[in-house]
Amino acid sequence: MAQRRKTLAGQPALNGSELSALTTLVRRGPMRLADWAAAEGISLPTARRLLLQLSRKSLASRSAQVGDRVIDQVVPTAKGIATVRRSGASRGTV
């Protein structure tokens, strides 16, 4: 049976795409799925898959903003923010 890689903190490891997408969310704040996809240079279906992967790791979630219409936004969780900060600290880029 395949096992997931683990980071030193016991968290599931992020691949490069996940870390890039999560970092964009943390740096830019909540954004619409389409805007997030555009910022990452990926298609909407790929952005949806990334969101699902990050959601399963409790690093990002989808939040509905109600106004004139309902707009879904992708938001980093506190755990996601901490993960990006730790990642930046390990590379000396915080």
Per-residue pLDDT of the chain (94 residues; tens, 9 = 90+): 344 444 545 556 889 999 999 999 999 999 999 999 999 999 999 999 999 999 999 999 998 776 666 668 999 999 999 999 988 755 555 4
Residue 94 placed within a domain: no
Domain extent for 60: 16-86
The pLDDT of residue 89: 54
- C-alpha distances (whole Å) from 91 to each of 60, 63, 71, 84, 87 are 22, 30, 35, 11, 6
The pLDDT of residue 3: 46
Residue 52 placed within a domain: yes
The pLDDT of residue 90: 53
Query: Do the beta carbons of residue 51 and residue 40 sit within 8 Å?
Result: no
Indicate which CATH number applies to the domain containing 27: 1.10.10.10
Domain count, the chain: 1
- C-alpha distances (whole Å) from 47 to each of 5, 31, 42, 89 are 22, 12, 7, 26
Residue 42 placed within a domain: yes
Residue 3 placed within a domain: no
Residue 60 placed within a domain: yes
